[in-house]
Amino acid sequence: MNANLRRRAEDLGPWVARVTLTTLAAIVLGGCSGTMPTLGGGGTVATGGAGGATAENASSQLEKCNQSLGTLAVVEDQNAPWYRTLSSQYKLGSTVPVLRMMIQQSNCFVVVERGQAMNNMMQERALQSSGEMRSGSSFQKGQIVAADYTMTPNITFSQKGTSGAGGALGGFSRFAGVAGLVAGGLKSNEASTTLLMIDNRSGVQLAAAEGSAQNFDFNILGSGWGGGAFSGAGGYTNTPEGKILVASFMDSYNQLVRATRNYKAQEVKGGLGTGGTLGVQGGQTPASNPVPAAATMSVAQAQRRLAELGFDPGPADGMPGGRTASALRAFQAQRGLDVTGRLDAATSAQLMK
């Protein structure tokens, strides 16, 4: 890079700190249309392939796992507003293929089919059942693998040019020396994506992660270069490009993997789905109808009730001995209560049912 170009680039001010002088030189000399997308601030896009637990040419920035955490289906809501925007305004297709490739490359989950290919799977089984398939084809009941988890993607779009150097650098006298080289300006493209993961057996959300990506477009001499040919008003069209979205999804996925690698299940006192601790007036949950202190069972009553329920509290002598405490602990564990071995109000309420 010559000294004149360096001096002109250094005059651009604080906003150009995110673009190196080398990048500016490449724009002028090589006809580049913009920077590579960055994951949350510095990155790449998904490439390569996957076969089983083997990844080929996977991004070095993709999180990896030594062992899989379970089976996973990826399902996108194609009726959601973001998907209609993706397909109609930005002319981009389903997010599922690239997400599935990244997931398999990471080896953090085993991907199972729950999309359109399920129709083909069931068609093969129908052919087997009809007797038309040749013998030894080995299609039979009980072969399909369950999906432990489901992951759903979401995209929040940001219009192109939400930050950057503005339309025409030549309009400012201090930029006049560079205007002949970068005559249209520099604009940033941004994308924000979210991944949610639920447990298919309980419906509990296990993890959620939001990621982002950004790159810069350059409008050289009033026209942008793209794919070796001149395009319209910039290096890309005025939409978040597919590369930006893929980079953002990789950022989301990396954060989700990091969050689940040391996963600890959430707990609710009294057990999940039994009403929680935030009761409402007139509700039917224990929290809505706390047991008054006066309604607490006597030890003898509790002993008789425990015996009726199949626990062994010993004789109903009203003495809270070791056998009674053991029976109470077993009962509390079965009902999802705090396992204390003591006859508290919550335990009395459960015994009275």
Which one has a higher pLDDT value, 251 or 244? 251
Highest mean pLDDT among 30-44, 107-121, 284-298: 107-121
Mean pLDDT of 40-54: 64
Over 90: is that where the pLDDT of 197 sits?
Answer: yes
pLDDT in the model for residue 202: 93
Mean pLDDT of 37-60: 67
Least confidently predicted of 132-136, 197-201, 280-284: 280-284
| Residue ranges of domains in the chain, CATH in brackets | 3-112+147-261 (no CATH), 293-352 (1.10.101)
Cα R_g (the chain), whole angstroms: 31
pLDDT in the model for residue 20: 42
| Cα 260 to the center of its chain, rounded Å | 11
Burial of 125 (0-12, 13-18, 19+ CB in 10 A): middle
Quickly state the pLDDT bin for 30 (edges 50, 70, 90).
very low
DSSP 83: H
Residue 64 region by backbone torsions, left for phi larger than 0, else alpha for psi between -120 and 50, else beta = beta
Report the mean per-residue pLDDT for the chain: 74
pLDDT in the model for residue 269: 76
Quickly state the pLDDT bin for 110 (edges 50, 70, 90).
very high
The token pair that represents 169 in the structure block:
């650098």
Q: Bridge partners of 151?
A: 74, 197
The percentage of residues in the chain with a pLDDT greater than 70, rounded to a whole number, is 68
Quickly state the pLDDT bin for 10 (edges 50, 70, 90).
low
Question: 284-330, pLDDT tens digit by residue?
Answer: 777 776 655 545 688 999 999 999 999 999 998 888 889 999 999 99
Which one has a higher pLDDT value, 180 or 134? 134
